Amino acid sequence: MIGTGRNFLVISDLQIPFEHSSALRDAIRIKKYFNIPDSNVLCVGDEVDQYFGSLYKKDINANLTATQEINECKKIIREWGKAFPRMKLATSNHGLRWAKKATDAEIPSQLLISYRDMIGAPKGWVWKDEWIFDTKHPFRMIHGMGYSGKDGARNALIDSGISTVMGHLHSHACVGEVNGKWFFNVGCYIDVEAFAFAYGKYSRHKPCLGHGVILNDGSLPIRIPSGAI
């Protein structure tokens, strides 16, 4: 076991079914390497992409339909659920895509199935806007909606005064400290070649692939790049 206190796995933005091919394998390896219990598996959100749930124009060359995307998500989520039957997830903008589209269409919530049922998530997966962990060194997890740029995670820490781990900003993964508190943007684990991310082809900043861990009762955040373990 590495570390002397409670350890946590932090799964980055996956955007299933457009996740990187090694995302699940690497998460399993990290969990085992750091001896992390099922109850301490976290995900910063955007576990699914919901490409066809967005309000943006769709790629005319997209090689699947909305129905196919949802079915593929369910298939992949089943595999993640087998590996991680319990997970604490942050509510995220991609997770809310279909719900926002329904709201724009003035469809009442009573007519909609739950998000859990839509993606086929295990009962042990729980979503909150913000998770606060009362460890020896307290920290919180959010997705990062409302923050942008290279200082997004730092600003999230400053605004809350609590050590903060987040995702959302794929190209600005980082670990830093302000006044004895840490901030941590874990990055993402997407397939950068997928058509869903064609918008970023010419962007100056590219996605930072990896997951993360928080060790020793919340005192030590570590970003683990793709394939490092």
Q: What is the 3-state secondary structure (H, E, C) of the chain?
A: CCCCCCCEEEECECCECCECCCHHHHHHHHHHHCCCCHHHEEECCCCECCHHHCCCCCCCCCCCCHHHHHHHHHHHHHHHHHHCCCEEEECCCCCCHHHHHHHHCCCCHHHCCCHHHHHCCCCCEEEECCEEECCCCCEEECCCCCCCCCCHHHHHHHHHCCEEEECCCCCCCEEEEECCEEEEECCECECCCCHHHHHHCCCCCCCCEEEEEEECCCCEEEEEECCCC
Q: Which range has the worst mean pLDDT, 29-43, 72-86, 98-112?
A: 98-112
Average predicted confidence (pLDDT) for the chain: 93
pLDDT tens digits along 91-147: 999 999 888 888 888 999 888 899 999 999 999 999 999 999 999 999 999 999 999
The pLDDT tens digits of the residues spanning 137-173 come to: 999 999 999 999 999 999 999 999 999 999 999 999 9
The pLDDT of 178-184, averaged and rounded, is: 97
In the predicted model, what is the mean pLDDT of residues 14-24? 97
Q: Is the pLDDT of residue 1 over 60?
A: no
Average pLDDT over residues 176-204: 91
| Mean pLDDT of all residues in 205-217 | 95
Residue 3: the pLDDT is 40
Confidence check: pLDDT of 68 > 60: yes
